[in-house]
Structures are given as C-alpha cells and as structure tokens.
C-alpha cells in the first residue's frame, strides 16, 4: 500500500526520529513511537570526546524505513560539525525521497562530499527496511554493516554495497545484497565507538549471548551493549529492531446512524488501531475525532437517527505510520445557528486532535477525512510566547476577531487554537481585523493557513482585513493566502 499525505515533498513526508547532538540525548532510550512494521529501540551513551560529530537518524518514508549511523570528521567547532551533519542529512533525505536505494544514495553522498571538503572523510552505515516484505538492504562508507542475529545463535553481517569514507577510497557500485529478516531475528546497527567497546569480536559474542538469554528484545540488547562502554570515548549509539506483527489490513465498518451504536464503532476502531501499532495517545486522539465526526453525522445528517441511514468509517495505515480515516454518511447537513454557542465544538475537537481535517458536504452526504502522523515525544506543555491579543465579538451572523501585537513563529499553535475556538472549528463565519498587527508576523501566517482551510471546508471562506501598504498585507500576499481567503483593506462597518 502506498499513499502520502498529498502535500508533496516540501511538507516533510518523512519524520526524523533520531537526533544528533549530545545535549538532545540522555543516557536512556529515545521515547519515540515505532515506525510501522518494526519494533525499534535506539539508545545512546554520550561520550566526552568531540561532541556534535555523530549522525544517527531514523527516517520513516512512505513504504520504507531508513536508518543511518555515521560520524563526520573533526571540525574546528561543534557548531560547524553539526552544520555538516545537517547538510549531509538533507542530501541523504532528498535521495531517499526520490526512491533511491542505499547504494545509489551513498554514491550520491560520495559525490556531494567531493564538492564539500568539510564532509570528506565522513563514515556511515545506511540500512533500508521494507516492512511489507521484511527485506533489508545496506550500504556503508568506512563503517561496519548491520548484524542480523537469530535466536539460535547465528550471526551474519550485512555489508551490501560498501567503500571507504565519503570522497575517499573507491565506492563499491556492485549489486546490493537483499536479506529477508525473520520474524524471530533481530537487526543491530551500531556506531564505530560502540564496536570499540567490544574488541576482538566481543560485540558478536555479546549479542549472541543476550539474544539466547532474553530472546529478540531490541531494548535489552541496546542497553546491555552501551552499558559496558567507558566514558572516555565518543558517543556510543545502537539501533536494534525486529519486524512487528502489525495489522496491514484496512478497516471498514458501517453502523446504523443511532447514538447507541457509536460505542461499537469506537470499540472496533480502538482494536484495529492497537493491532496496527498505533500508540495509546494517538489511538485516543483518533477515537475522539472519529466519535465527534460520527456524532455529527447522526445529529446533523440524520436528525439524531430519526432519518435512518448508516455511518461508515474506513481507515488505512501508510508505511510511515500515518493513519488516514474517513467518516461518511448519506444524510443532509444541517448548519447550527450562529447564535448557538454550544454547537461547533465537534469540528474544533477534530482539528485539535488531528494533523489534517477535510470536510466535504455534497448532495449525497458528508465525508470527513482525518489524517494524523505518529506523535513525537511528549512536549513540556503548550508554549505561547504572548505578545499579541485577540478581541472577539459577534457582528450579525459572523464572528469578528481583532488581532494585535507581534506574532513570531512560536505563537502559531496558540493563535490557531484561539481562532478556531472563536469560529467553533470553522462552523461560524470568521472575519479577522489585522490592522493592529506589527513586527514579526510569521506565526500569524502559519496559523492562518489552518484556519483558512477550516473555513473553506465549512463553506464559509475566511475574511482577512489589513491595510494595503502594511507589512502584514505584504506577508499575506507573499504567502499566497489570498488564494484560500478573502483579503481586503478593511472590514465593512457593523450594521
């Protein structure tokens, strides 16, 4: 199955799970959701030598997962080393998103390093796993290949295409070796420093002993291997994974459009999401959003079940772990009155729970599409840098909001929530007076795209008012917001 979020390559169709700097790591496993089709552990033991040189990433793509561990040469400063890592990461990600295999991608990095002397000498191991077929391919540049360890004690090293460090030596352009990872096998990818912690083939003996003792447990393997490293080395990194028995089947269920039947829908959807490897946090978000969409169908499409009919829910998982769900009915949508402030919360909840919410209302019914990527590590709470004010008022049949102050990029999430709350998730017509906005407007532009999408989906386009010669008006035009919202010099006087 192959599908993306439809936004294109510029909207980050892959998610970076690994990070590179010691300050972003603790000596503990990274608490990240597993990519689809694998049970993954990633552990780092920060060292005291040359921080910032290490490169380790997990990149879930549409139908593959790429894992890379490497190290750049010593640089004059830590900041320069991290900048080299970021450039290499961007070059590699571009190759992978174009469908290149490991050998082609590493060859491209060899060529890139030939034009970027600071990257010459970088070592890396790139492994690409396809969950659907359980196939694994590898390419290396001056770095050990991955190890495949079976429960009965067999160890084989997957070298694949290999060569010396980037822009040095001669890259092997031979055919890639493709291995099928057994359901009871574990794959280990490790940094050069971790290998040095287990000299004289000690690493292979250690992994065989542990797998025989604990079975294919990626977390236990990574923690045991890094625990024996001394502090006077560089970062010791270990990735380990086993294929997971996740459900790849799509979900489809139709229930009568009656409030009492929605509990069955929630129960069945929860079971499918759990079998598909979705985290508990994301499962709660999906069940909440689907419950709101289904309740809207019952209440607004079928008049609380008195019209009869069905509510149909379908769901599918992409290779990157993202989930897309549709909730559809054949009823006729009834808009709530603007004066009823108790309505419109359902769409607001859906938009706050999901990455994307699309609503299509036609003569044959309503279709709500919900899309969400796997959650990242929990944040320390929502942050709102302040610096702006919202003044909300009802004017006739619309909601008007005066926005004033500065809106840097960090203010976008809170501003988006505030505007969606005022519009009840896009149900009520919304007009914004932006004449009081000054200074930084990046957060305003970021928030307005989501709000304009919500308003457009509800059939009530967003209206933005900003003086023609203002910096805000210039920012709206540069971002192209006039294509999805109505931009005017000033709002019409209230009547």
Confidence of residue 54 (pLDDT cuts 50, 70, 90): confident
Tell me which residue of 321, 354, 277, 351 sits closest to 3, measured CA to CA.
321
Confidence of residue 61 (pLDDT cuts 50, 70, 90): confident
Summary count for the chain: helices (H), strands (E): 11, 21
Q: What is the pLDDT of residues 197-212, one digit of tens each?
A: 877 667 777 788 877 7
Task: Supply the pLDDT for residue 50.
Answer: 57
Confidence of residue 96 (pLDDT cuts 50, 70, 90): very high
Domain boundaries, the chain: 9-243, 251-372, 388-488
Asked, colleague to colleague, whether 251-372 and 388-488 share their fold, the answer is: no
- What residues have CB less than 8 Å from 438, skipping those under 6 apart? 404, 405, 406, 471
Q: What is the mean pLDDT of the chain?
A: 78
Q: Find the mean pLDDT for residues 62-71.
A: 87
Residue 193 has pLDDT above 70, yes or no: yes
Confidence of residue 142 (pLDDT cuts 50, 70, 90): confident
Strand pairing class (123-130; 135-141): antiparallel
Task: Supply the pLDDT for residue 94.
Answer: 92
Q: Which helix (H) or strand (E) is 186 found in, with range?
A: strand 186-190
Fold held by 9-243: Phosphatase 2c; domain 1 (3.60.40)
Percentage with pLDDT > 90 across the chain:
14
Confidence of residue 92 (pLDDT cuts 50, 70, 90): very high
Confidence of residue 8 (pLDDT cuts 50, 70, 90): very low
Task: Supply the pLDDT for residue 360.
Answer: 82
- How far is residue 197's CA from residue 215's CA, in Å, rounded to a whole number? 22
Structure token digits, residue 115: 């034009």
Higher pLDDT, 220 or 337: 220
The three-point CA angle 409-415-416 to 5° equals: 100
Fold held by 251-372: Heat Shock Protein 90 (3.30.565)
**Which stretch of 16-20, 271-275, 290-294, 490-494 has the lowest confidence by average pLDDT?**
16-20
- What residues have CB less than 8 Å from 112, skipping those under 6 apart? 88, 91, 119, 166
C-alpha distances (whole Å) from 272 to each of 191, 285, 333, 426 are: 37, 14, 29, 30
Instruction: List, in sequence order, every residue forming a beta bridge with 71; answer none if it has no partner.
Output: 54, 123
Q: Can you give the pTM of this predicted structure?
A: 0.62
Backbone angles phi, psi at 8, to 5 degrees: 95, 170
Q: What is the pLDDT of residues 350-394, one digit of tens each?
A: 887 888 888 887 777 788 999 888 775 444 334 455 578 888 888
CB contact at 8 A, 367 and 331: no
CB-count exposure of residue 364 (10 Å: 0-12, 13-18, 19+)? exposed
- Domain 388-488 -> CATH class: alpha beta
- What residues have CB less than 8 Å from 138, skipping those under 6 apart? 102, 125, 126, 127, 128, 145, 146, 158, 159, 160, 161, 176, 177
Q: Find the mean pLDDT for residues 172-177.
A: 63
Task: Supply the pLDDT for residue 401.
Answer: 92
Residue 343 has pLDDT above 60, yes or no: no
Q: How far is CA 248 from the centre of its chain?
A: 19
Higher pLDDT, 211 or 265: 265
CB contact at 8 A, 126 and 105: yes
Dihedral sign for Cα atoms in the order 208, 211, 216, 219: negative
- How far is residue 329's CA from residue 115's CA, in Å, rounded to a whole number? 57
DSSP string, 210-234: HHHHH-S-HHHHHHHHHHT--SSSS
Structure token digits, residue 310: 């069905």
CB contact at 8 A, 66 and 126: yes
R_g of the chain, CA atoms, integer Å: 26
DSSP string, 392-403: EEEETTEEEEEE
**Which stretch of 82-91, 177-186, 298-307, 392-401 has the lowest confidence by average pLDDT?**
298-307
Q: What is the pLDDT of residues 287-335, one digit of tens each?
A: 888 988 888 888 765 655 556 678 899 998 876 678 899 998 887 655 5
C-alpha distances (whole Å) from 242 to each of 184, 318, 395 are: 7, 19, 59
SS3 134: coil
- What residues have CB less than 8 Å from 303, skipping those under 6 apart? 331, 334
Confidence of residue 48 (pLDDT cuts 50, 70, 90): low
């Amino acid at each position: 199955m192959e599908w993306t979020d439809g936004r294109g390559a510029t909207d980050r169709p892959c998610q970076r799970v690994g990070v590179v700097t010691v300050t972003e790591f603790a000596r503990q496993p990274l608490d990240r959701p597993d990519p689809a089709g694998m049970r993954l552990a990633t552990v780092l033991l920060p060292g005291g030598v040359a921080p910032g040189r290490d490169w380790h990433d997990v990149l879930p793509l549409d139908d593959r997962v790429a894992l890379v561990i490497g190290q750049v040469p010593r640089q004059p400063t830590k900041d320069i080393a991290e900048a080299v890592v970021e450039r290499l990461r961007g070059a590699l990600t571009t190759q992978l998103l174009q469908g290149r295999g490991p050998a082609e991608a590493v060859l491209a990095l060899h060529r890139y390093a030939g034009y970027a002397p600071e990257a010459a000498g970088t070592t890396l191991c790139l492994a690409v796993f396809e969950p659907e077929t359980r196939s694994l391919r590898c390419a290396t540049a001056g770095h050990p290949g991955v190890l495949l360890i079976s429960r009965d004690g067999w160890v084989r090293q997957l070298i694949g295409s290999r060569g010396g460090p980037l822009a040095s030596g001669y890259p092997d352009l031979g055919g890639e070796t493709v291995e099928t990872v057994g359901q009871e096998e574990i794959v280990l990818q490790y940094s050069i420093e971790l290998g040095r912690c287990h000299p004289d083939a000690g690493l292979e003996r250690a992994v065989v002993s542990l797998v025989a003792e604990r079975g294919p447990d990626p977390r236990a393997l990574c923690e045991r291997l890094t625990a024996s490293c001394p502090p006077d080395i560089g970062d010791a990194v270990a990735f380990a994974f086993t294929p997971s028995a996740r459900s790849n089947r799509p979900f489809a269920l139709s229930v009568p459009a009656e409030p009492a039947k929605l509990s069955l829908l929630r129960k069945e959807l929860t079971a499918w999401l759990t079998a598909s490897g979705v985290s508990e946090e994301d499962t709660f978000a999906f069940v909440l959003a689907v419950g709101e969409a289904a309740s809207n169908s019952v209440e607004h499409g079928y008049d609380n079940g008195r019209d009869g009919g069905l509510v149909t829910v379908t769901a599918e998982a992409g290779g990157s772990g993202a989930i897309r769900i549709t909730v559809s009915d054949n009823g006729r949508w009834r808009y709530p009155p603007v004066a009823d402030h108790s309505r419109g919360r359902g769409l607001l909840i859906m938009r706050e729970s999901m990455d994307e919410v699309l609503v299509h209302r036609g003569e044959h019914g309503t279709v709500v599409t919900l899309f969400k990527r796997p959650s990242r590590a929990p944040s320390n709470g929502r942050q709102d840098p302040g610096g702006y004010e919202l003044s909300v008022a009802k004017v006739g049949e619309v909601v008007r909001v005066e926005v004033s102050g500065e809106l840097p990029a960090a203010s976008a999430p809170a501003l988006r929530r505030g505007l969606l709350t005022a519009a009840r998730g896009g149900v009520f017509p919304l007009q914004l007076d932006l004449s009081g906005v000054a200074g930084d407007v990046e957060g305003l532009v970021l928030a307005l795209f989501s709000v304009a999408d919500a308003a457009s989906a509800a059939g009530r386009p967003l209206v933005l008012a900003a003086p023609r010669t203002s910096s805000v008006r210039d920012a709206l035009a540069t971002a192209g917001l006039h294509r999805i919202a109505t931009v005017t010099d000033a709002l019409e006087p209230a009547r």
